[in-house]
Structure 1
Amino acid sequence: MTSPTYVEQPALLALLGSIGDDERRGRFAHDFINLWETRSQRLMNALGNRDFEDADVVLLSIRSSSAMLGARPLEAVAGMVHSAVRVADLPGSLSHLARLNEVGELTCQELATVMESLRTPQQTAGAQP
């Protein structure tokens, strides 16, 4: 049995190929990983305050960046939360929040692994311990 895939590598490679030089290639993915906790916390705060407008903004950000990175499962779960947010359905939004956080964390882990595997030998040799 194979483990689930949270990042479609062809979509990720297409994005990375369109970005430019090596420095910029990894920045988008690494920014996504580094911002995940902040986005997740901002979404929880927005829902806790019944601020559906802010929740909408956060979810649009998660969905668009997930789609660009090929993180289809995360985009799908964010879409479920987003559908509930659009109609101000707090219980519906909250019902998918745990799954969103779980898939988000797993996506970040897989994305970090994929990005590490794409590093060139020169980048690896120049890395700080």
Structure 2
Amino acid sequence: MTSNYVEHDALVALLNSVGDDDRRGRFVHDFISLWETRSQRLMKALGNRDFEDADVVLLSIRSSSTMLGAWSLEAIAGMVHSAVKGFDLQGSLRHLPRLQAVGGATCQELLGVLESMRRPDAPAGGARSAKSA
């Protein structure tokens, strides 16, 4: 699988450290299922000029993105976060469309990785190696 949004080696390392197959899948599924909630909470916080809540949401996005090897998402969230910490509403809003697009694409790629882990014919050395560790 070609990666555009997730560094698979970082993801595999994380999944190997999480534990059994159920926990591995649950961690990734939790990130995916929380993406829309986090995105909406961020938009609401910025709409209300609640920079404190926006900060909390962005810290969550950034830390989980880092753990998953989702470097593009982390970088864009970092740009929004820098603007939020500077109370720059326009700067924050400028990056939101890209954050949402990359977040959605990252979630799709993560779903693909989970699917490849479940397939017995997944390529060796890819995400499936987390299952065999």
Q: Which runs of 5+ in 2 are unaligned?
A: 121-133
- Structure 2 counterpart of 1:80, which letter? M
| 2:78 maps to 1:76 | no
Secondary structure of 1:5 counterpart:
coil
In the TM superposition, residue 4 of structure 1 has moved relative to its aligned partner by: 6.2
TM-score of the superposition, structure 1-length normalised?
A: 0.89
Assess, with a 3 A threshold, how the Cα gap between structure 1 residues 47 and 39 changes in structure 2: closer, same or farther. Answer: same
Task: Flag the structure with more relative contact order, 1 or 2, with Cα contacts below 8 A and sequence separation at least 6.
Answer: 2
| Structure 1 ranges of 4+ moved more than 6 A | none
1:58 alignment partner in structure 2: 57
How many percent of aligned residue pairs carry the same amino acid?
A: 74
Unaligned runs of 5+ in 1: 122-129
Code of the residue aligned with 1:99 in structure 2: it is R
Aligned partner of 1:127 in structure 2 is none
Residue by residue over 1:23-46, the C-alpha shift from the partner in whole angstroms, topping out at 9 and shown as x without a partner, is 101111110001100000000000
Kindly report which structure 2 residues correspond to 1:1-129, keeping only aligned pairs within 5 A, or say none: 5-119=4-118, 121=120
Which residue of 1 is the match for residue 125 of structure 2? none
CA contact (8 A) 2:3 2:109 kept: no
Three-state SS of the structure 1 residue aligned to 2:76 is helix
The root-mean-square deviation of aligned C-alpha atoms, in Å, is 1.2
Q: What is the CA–CA distance in structure 2 between the aligned matches of 1:8 and 1:69, rounded to whole Å?
A: 8
